[in-house]
Amino acid sequence: MSRSLIAATVVAAVIMAPLAYAARAQPPSASAAILSDPSRPTADLARDAARKPAEMLAFAGVKTGDTVIELVPGGGYFTRILSKAVGPGGHVYAAAPDPKSSDAEPAAAKIAAEPGYANVTVIPISVAGLMAAPTADVIWTAQNYHDMHLSRLHVDVPGFDKLLFSKLKKGGVFMVIDHVAVAGSPVTETADKLHRIDPAFVRTEVTGAGFVFDGESAALRNPDDPHTTLVFDASIRGKTDQFVLRFRKP
């Protein structure tokens, strides 16, 4: 292959990559309908300005008919949004902690039982639970990747990332949103003490499992965050500097 042809191929790949994600994403009108869904709680609506769900859906390329695995759904903020985004032809598998544990998150199960959310299934966030789920178009984690590094959980995170890699379809996306820690700070300290993580560390760890880094959004960045405060502190809660990383399974 000639140098000129190689160069043309590389340029074409660079141009086509964002176009491919634009084709996957919900159009603005669809995102507006999803976010104005009357079944969304008032508390969720109040958080939209800070969490920018339309931008997050577009960046991840979530589309109608997709299968999504959502890791640790928490209060179900994104569970509801993802359910409406993939529609009746898609499905959301909300991977939640053991309901009998101190980390229990009952919200996703309650959402799955509501009318209009039949495409939500709660599964255990365990090796067995994830292995039993279908392969996904998107794996989504918001504000909790750092939790896998909590010392009390003893998670083999590199091994877990490899499991996630195996659960994505070829070309599928792993979307990671989390609270920013000071660059270079050790995850052994920031996860436990601050519930934060260095985005560069996440990028290295996730690509080590076979993923390809595929882009970053600055939509949730806040330069006024000192990065040294616990994310639950009243001075910063709901206003943290957050990174948004997109990885792809080649």
> 188-217, pLDDT tens digit by residue?
999 999 999 999 999 999 999 999 999 999
Res 33: pLDDT: 86
Res 19: pLDDT: 44
CA distances, 248 to each of 19, 31, 61, 67, 108 (Å): 15, 23, 11, 15, 26
What gap in Å lies between CA 246 and CA 39, rounded to an integer?
Answer: 29
Tell whether the torsion through CA atoms of 194, 199, 201 and 206 is positive or negative: positive
Written as tens digits, the pLDDT of the chain (250 aa) is 444 433 333 333 333 444 444 445 555 546 888 999 999 999 999 999 999 999 999 999 999 999 999 999 999 999 999 999 999 999 999 999 988 888 989 999 999 999 999 999 999 999 999 999 999 999 999 999 999 999 999 999 999 999 999 999 999 999 999 999 999 999 999 999 999 999 999 999 999 999 999 999 999 999 999 999 999 999 999 999 999 999 999 9
Which helix (H) or strand (E) covers residue 154, if one does? none
Tell me the fold of 3-248.
Rossmann fold (3.40.50)
CA distances, 129 to each of 122, 134, 164, 189 (Å): 10, 10, 12, 29
Give domain limits for the chain: 3-248
pLDDT one-digit tens code per residue, 97-114:
988 888 989 999 999 999
What gap in Å lies between CA 106 and CA 96, rounded to an integer?
Answer: 8
Contacts of 133 (CB under 8 A, 6+ apart): 69, 93, 95, 123, 167
Written as one string, the DSSP assignment of 109-133 is HHHHTSTT-TTEEEEESSHHHHHHS
Res 129: pLDDT: 96
Residues 174/248, Cβ–Cβ less than 8 Å: yes
